[in-house]
Each structure stands twice: as C-alpha cells, then as structure tokens.
C-alpha cells in the first residue's frame, strides 16, 4: 500500500492516529473509497465525495450507529469518524464463502433489528438514498408515510426526468390511493432502508455485514421486498429464519411488489431505463 497524502492527512486529523499506508478500493459508484492502514495495525475504509450534499456522510454514520445499537442485530461496520466531507469505517474483510448457515443467522439478526423498532414512522432528520435526498419527516401511519415520503416524491421526480410514462405514473398513483387497505397495521420497524445485495457483505468471519444504510422507521416488509427485488444468495434461508424469529404478517409475499415500488422509482430517477415501466407493471397488480 502506498500513501495518498491528502487522504492520509484528513484521516489523521479525524482519527488522531497515524496512517501508515493507503490504497484505492474499487466498486463504489458514488463516493471514492480508500483503504487505510493505521499505525495501530487496524484497517479502515475512508469514503470521500467532493462537494457532498450537506449532511450526506453524517446521515450514513447516524444510520450505522442506529442499527448497531441493537443487541445481536445485523452486523454493521463501526463508525470511526464522520464529517461533512468523509466517513471512516472499520474495514470489513470479505470472504469467498457464502454458507447457508450465515444466511440463516442473518435472517435472525435482521428480525431482531426490525423488532427493536423506531419511535415513529420516519426519523428526526432527513437522509439520502444514493445521491438523492430522502425525506423522513414523520407521519401518523405507514400508509401516509409511504405515500407522501416515498412514492409520490420519486414518482414526481421520475416524471420530471422523463423516466416514467404518464400511463405508468397514473397506475402508481392509483395504488397510492389504496395503501390504507393494502398494508396491515404494524409498529414501526428499524429499517436499513436500502437493503439490496450490494449492501450485504459476506465477511471472512462468515457473517453478513450491512453497509450504506438509508435508515428510518418504516414497515419491515420494505427491507424484505428490496432483498427479493435484487436477490441475495440463500434468500429462502434468510426469510425462513427471519419468520421463525419475528413472524411475518399473513400475505406478506403478496405485498412484496407493493413495497418494491419505492426502490424501482428511485432507480428510475437515478438510472432511467426500464425501471419506470417495471414500477407501472407491478403497480397494476394492486389496482
């Protein structure tokens, strides 16, 4: 590992420890990732983004800390430092094995994290999902929150960007009007909020660690819906262990598409392509 002077200097300012070496890390599509080796022998990950939106890295750090507060919940990397221009996390060494036993343990851990709950639907501060702002102002019910903080803002943005047709948008709007009858009442869960397989790291310690949260108090089926949308190795084992630990409400599988509308609209806003059409097709199942 060579030493990148600017990254090393900033890390040393925040950590109060010497950085022995640094190296670039591939894979991030938003922030620049750098691996740090500290004089203590610890390895860390530093994420930076020039001109980051206000509160960008602070929101990530807060989400990780909130998730980590759950005893025996999903493993998350320790936050070593956070500032307006970067976040520094304990390094998660990834392994090549993806054992079914680890998936089952992850299902139990995710269930415990969700069951730890949240005070309200939403959060006391806004966040981000990818580069997009994530409004978290609280609401009185999940149906209201999902409508006005998740579906409608990103539906409008997708229309403004030409990423969804008027016809598909109208179908999604029709579903919004039916949310109170479609979604069962539950207490707010402690959500990761962006739980796709790219944010699940299979560690060398044979545990699944989650990163890059968009955390808030929401319906637990959202995290499960996103896992199903983008896939995860041994997902049936994850779900079975989850259901044994924190039983799911009847009909949850039929509502997966309903809670996939949000990530599909986010992807339509960010990437365009066929995501808007997929959102319209899934919404049509519920009208």
How much is the average pLDDT of 155-182?
Answer: 97
- Going by pLDDT thresholds of 50, 70 and 90, the confidence category of residue 30 is confident
Q: Which residues are catalytic?
A: 194
pTM: 0.95
Residue 280 above 60 pLDDT? yes
DSSP 144: H
Q: pLDDT at position 48, please?
A: 94
Give pLDDT tens digits for 112-148: 999 999 999 999 999 999 999 999 999 999 999 999 9
- The answer to whether residue 2 scores a pLDDT higher than 70 is no
Q: Contact at 8 Å (CB) between 147 and 256?
A: no
What pLDDT sits at residue 149? 98
The token duo for 2 is 């060579």
How long, in residues, is the chain?
287
Q: Is the pLDDT of residue 28 over 80?
A: no
The Cα 200–Cα 223 span in angstroms is: 12
Give the model confidence (pLDDT) of 211-232 as tens digits: 999 999 999 999 999 999 999 9
What pLDDT does 287 receive? Answer: 92
Q: In this predicted structure, what is the pLDDT of residue 197?
A: 94
CATH topology match: 5-90 vs 100-286: no
Give residue 223's pLDDT: 98
pLDDT at 152 over 70: yes
Q: What percent of the chain has a predicted confidence (pLDDT) above 70?
A: 99
Q: Longest Cα pair distance anywhere in the chain, in angstroms?
A: 59
How does pLDDT run across 39-79, given as a tens digit for each residue? Answer: 999 999 999 998 899 999 999 999 999 999 999 999 999 99
The set of residues, in sequence order, having a beta carbon less than 8 Å from that of 94 and lying 6+ positions away, is 201, 202, 203, 204
**pLDDT class for 150, splitting at 50, 70, 90?**
very high
> N- to C-terminal Cα distance for the chain?
56
> Which residue from 213, 215, 217 is spatially nearest to 198, judged by alpha carbons?
213
Rounded CA separation 31/29 (Å):
6
SS (H, E, C) the chain: CECCHHHHHHHHHHHCCCEEEEEEECCCCCCEEEEEEECCCCEEEEEECCCCCCCHHHHHHHHHHHHHCCCCCCCCCCEEEECCCEEEEECCCECCCCCHHHHHHHHHHHHHHHHHCCCCEECCCCEEECCEEECCCCECCHHHHHHHHHHHHHHHHHHHCCCCCHHHHHHHHHHHCCHHHHCCCCCCEEECCCCCHHHEEEECCCCEEECCCCCEEECCHHHHHHHHHHCCCCHHHHHHHHHHHCCCCCCHHHHHHHHHHHHHHHHHHHHCCCHHHHHHHHHHHHC
Percent of the chain whose pLDDT exceeds 90: 93
Query: Average pLDDT for residues 247-256, to the nearest whole number?
Result: 97
Q: Which CATH class is domain 100-286?
A: alpha beta
| Residue 29 confidence (pLDDT) | 75
Q: How far apart are CA 172 and CA 226, in angstroms?
A: 18
Q: Are 179 and 140 in contact (CB under 8 A)?
A: no
- Chain-wide mean pLDDT for the chain? 95
Say what the pLDDT of residue 1 is: 52
Q: Which of the following CATH numbers is that of domain 5-90: 3.40.190.10, 3.40.50.170, 3.30.460.20, 3.30.200.20?
A: 3.30.200.20
| Residue range 77-98: mean pLDDT, rounded | 95
Domain locations along the chain: 5-90, 100-286
């Amino acid at each position: 590992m060579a030493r990148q002077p600017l990254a090393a200097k900033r890390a040393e300012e925040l950590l109060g420890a010497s950085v022995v070496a640094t190296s670039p890390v591939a894979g991030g599509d938003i922030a620049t990732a750098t691996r740090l080796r500290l004089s203590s022998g610890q390895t860390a990950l530093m994420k930076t983004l020039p001109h980051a939106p206000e509160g960008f890295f602070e929101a990530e750090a807060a989400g990780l800390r909130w998730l980590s507060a759950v005893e025996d919940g999903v493993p998350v990397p320790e936050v070593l430092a956070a500032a307006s221009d970067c976040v520094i996390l304990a390094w998660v060494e990834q392994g090549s094995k993806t054992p079914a036993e680890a998936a089952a343990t992850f299902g139990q851990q995710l269930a415990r994290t969700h069951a730890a709950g949240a005070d309200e639907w939403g959060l006391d501060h806004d966040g981000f999902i990818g580069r997009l702002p994530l409004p978290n102002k609280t609401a009185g019910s999940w149906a209201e929150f999902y409508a006005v903080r998740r579906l409608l803002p990103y539906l409008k943005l997708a229309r403004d960007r030409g990423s969804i047709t008027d016809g598909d948008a109208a179908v999604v709007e029709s579903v919004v009007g039916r949310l109170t009858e479609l979604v069962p009442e539950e207490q707010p869960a402690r959500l990761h909020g962006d739980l796709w397989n790219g944010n699940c790291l299979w560690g060398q310690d044979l545990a699944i660690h989650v990163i890059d949260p968009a955390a808030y108090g929401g319906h637990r089926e959202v995290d499960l819906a996103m896992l199903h949308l983008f896939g995860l190795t041994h997902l049936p084992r994850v779900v079975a262990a989850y259901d044994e630990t924190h039983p799911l409400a009847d009909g949850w599988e039929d509502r997966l598409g309903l809670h996939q509308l949000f990530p599909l609209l986010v992807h339509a806003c960010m990437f365009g392509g066929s995501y808007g059409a997929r959102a319209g097709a899934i919404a049509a199942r519920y009208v």
